[in-house]
Amino acid sequence: MNKPALTVSSSPHLHAKADTASIMWSVSLALAPASLWGVYVFGLRSLLVLGVSILSAMLVEYLLGRMGKESTLWDGSAFLTGLLVGMNMSPSVPLFIPFLASAFAIFVAKWTFGGLGANWANPALAGRVFVFFSFTTPMSTYVNPRTLAAVMPDGLSGATPLGFAKTALAGGTLGMDSNGLLSSAGYPATGFAQSISQATGFSAYSIDSFLGNVAGCIGEVSALALLIGGLYLLVRKIITWHIPATYLLSVALLSWIFGGIPSGLGVFSGSFFPSMFSGGLMLGALFMATDYVTSPISHKGQIIYGIGCGFFTFLFRYFGSMPEAVSVSTLLMNVVTPTIDRYIVPRKFGDTKELRKKQKEAKV
Amino acid sequence: MKANIKELTKGIFKENPVFVIVLGLCPVLGVSTQVSNAIGMSAGVMFVLLFSNIIISALRKVIPGSIHIPAYIVVIASLVTITEMVMHAFVPSVYSALGVYLPLIVVNCIILGRAEAFASKNSVFDSILDAIGMSIGFALGLTLIALIRELFGSGTITLFPMGNFGGGINIPWFYDNPIRVMALAPGALLIMGYLKAFFDWNTSRKKDK
């Protein structure tokens, strides 16, 4: 058959090569620095946890693919979900917990609601929250990173800075910000962070949590490594700045303004930077909240979504009873996402306020 | 006679009150944390449903149409009060475990629903069969959910103590690592949803054949 010299087709004529698989593998690649850092500081045991979560996510995806008509094993979504589940685990969890979390993520959160693209909640977060509320003790028992183990006094083993500050607050230590709480109780900082702290004036704890020298989940400890991955995604235009920036800034601002209240310090005395680098916030803001399926489509909606995530994270962190701020608030905003998408409709091309006014008048 | 048997069996699978007509979910989600509670609740519902169906179908020509709902409620509320007092006297542990859900049988939609949809239009004998079938269906649904929730959520199966048997069975692995979410509210909704999906799928598969 002769091919016509000119191919006539309708626009658009330019296609990006991006598809589900390339995006998923890119996000997984962006998570690599943080996971490698986690494996380095927490030892090979954490690699085992990561492996179990990834393998069980892919196994469940494969079995469900066998049951249904199409297999989506190699589009990377199951791999990414498993990796995120693993990064959200404490390095010392018994291995059935990552298995259950991955299975819940793929089977309940994703497959039941119609597979990738139809899930209302971020699967990895749903899996984490499921096992967190089921097995609270092993999930919130942490080990010290190898960079901190040398200076960590006994009896303080495996407390995250956030959890530690919270315990001190619950014990009735008032009148101190989080840095004061940590240092008065003897929470250690690495020598490297202390020397930088003397040179720059930032507190040594913020520097340690920025670099990743704190106890925590495998993938959440190093804000720096996560930021590198996030920047890669921003440069590749896989995510936009709207959700992470509004999320991080709203948490930091609210913590700065109101974060001192539980300690009895009044407004404008909370911590700005440490609140951004501590806990799972960086991982949540850059990689969990930005999940395409469960975040709003329009940029305006994404900004509302980011601020909502930040507001709830702040509330849970300072006034909640569970050390589970980022994942629960992101899930909460996942629920609101369809509503945001319904009411925040992007402006149509050529649509202006005057035009709509005219149309309204014409109708009347 | 064959038609009568149908009134009995329809409540168990074809019109199961929990999974097919989805009525009376408040106790199903609320008390299904332990098998023994589920059995106690089912017994209460069975008693109330049976006697409310009998009384209402016997009085179906006496009750004026304009106030039939208040009349049904009076009948049901009296029966629930009897159930509550009897349980309080003879099985105080079940009574305290069921808590507010026991008096809430008054507003349970299965009982009012069967009174309105069946007993007010059919003979006493048919209403008895309908009540038995429906309460067996309700008991099966509730106990199934409670069994799954208790097994995964606490790793035990709690029955009533009889002779040497203490009343509780511990499931080896789950007893040490209970999936606690299953014993909380989300577990009830998850199990309920998956069982309903399974029954719907089963029904549609049978229809296709």
Q: Which residues of A touch B178 (CB under 8 A)?
A: 134
Taking an 8 Å cut-off on Cβ atoms, the answer to whether A134 and B190 are in contact is no
Share of chain A above pLDDT 90, in %: 32
Q: Which residues of B touch A94 (CB under 8 A)?
A: 177
Residue A172 confidence class, pLDDT cut points 50, 70, 90 = low
Residue A82, pLDDT above cutoff 90: yes
Identify the pLDDT of residue B81.
Answer: 93
Cα maximum dimension of chain A: 84
Tell me the C-alpha distance between A219 and B50, whole Å. Answer: 59
Contact A31/A87 with Cβ under 8 angstroms? Answer: yes
Q: How many CB pairs under 8 A join A and B?
A: 19
User: Which tokens is B102 given?
Assistant: 């026991």
Taking an 8 Å cut-off on Cβ atoms, the answer to whether A135 and B184 are in contact is no
Collapsing DSSP states into helix, strand and coil, what is residue B59?
A: coil
- Sign of the C-alpha dihedral computed for residues B8, B12, B13 and B14 taken in this order: positive
pTM for this one?
0.84
Whole-complex ipTM: 0.81
Low-confidence spans in chain B with pLDDT less than 70: 1-2, 161-164, 166-167, 209
Residue to substitute from B151, B177, B201, interface A, most A β-carbons within 10 A = B177
In terms of pLDDT, which residue wins out, A236 or A74?
A236
pLDDT, average across residues A42-60: 92
The domain limits of chain B are 2-208
pLDDT, average across residues A106-116: 88
Q: Which residues of B touch A133 (CB under 8 A)?
A: 180-181, 184
Eight-class DSSP state of A57: H
How far off is chain A from B151, nearest CA to CA, in Å?
14
Taking an 8 Å cut-off on Cβ atoms, the answer to whether B184 and A133 are in contact is yes
Task: Report pLDDT digits (tens) over A322-340.
Answer: 778 899 999 999 999 999 9
Identify the top-confidence range among A164-168, A217-221, A224-228, B119-123: A224-228
User: Which tokens is A43 given?
Assistant: 């030892």
Identify the pLDDT of residue A185.
Answer: 66
Instruction: Find the angle CA(B20)-CA(B107)-CA(B153) to the nearest 5 degrees.
Output: 60
Identify the pLDDT of residue B4.
Answer: 75
Residue A321, pLDDT above cutoff 70: yes
How far off is chain A from B65, nearest CA to CA, in Å?
44
Task: Report pLDDT digits (tens) over B31-63.
Answer: 888 888 888 888 888 999 999 999 988 888 888
Residue A48, pLDDT above cutoff 90: yes
Taking an 8 Å cut-off on Cβ atoms, the answer to whether A134 and B178 are in contact is yes
pLDDT, average across residues A84-106: 91
Identify the pLDDT of residue A344.
Answer: 86
How far off is chain B from A130, nearest CA to CA, in Å?
7
How far off is chain A from B42, nearest CA to CA, in Å?
28
Residue of A nearest to B177 (CA): A135
Residue A245, pLDDT above cutoff 60: yes
Task: Report pLDDT digits (tens) over A258-314.
Answer: 877 777 777 777 777 777 887 788 999 999 999 888 889 889 999 999 999 999 999
Cis geometry, peptide bond prior to residue B186 (ω within 30 degrees of 0):
no
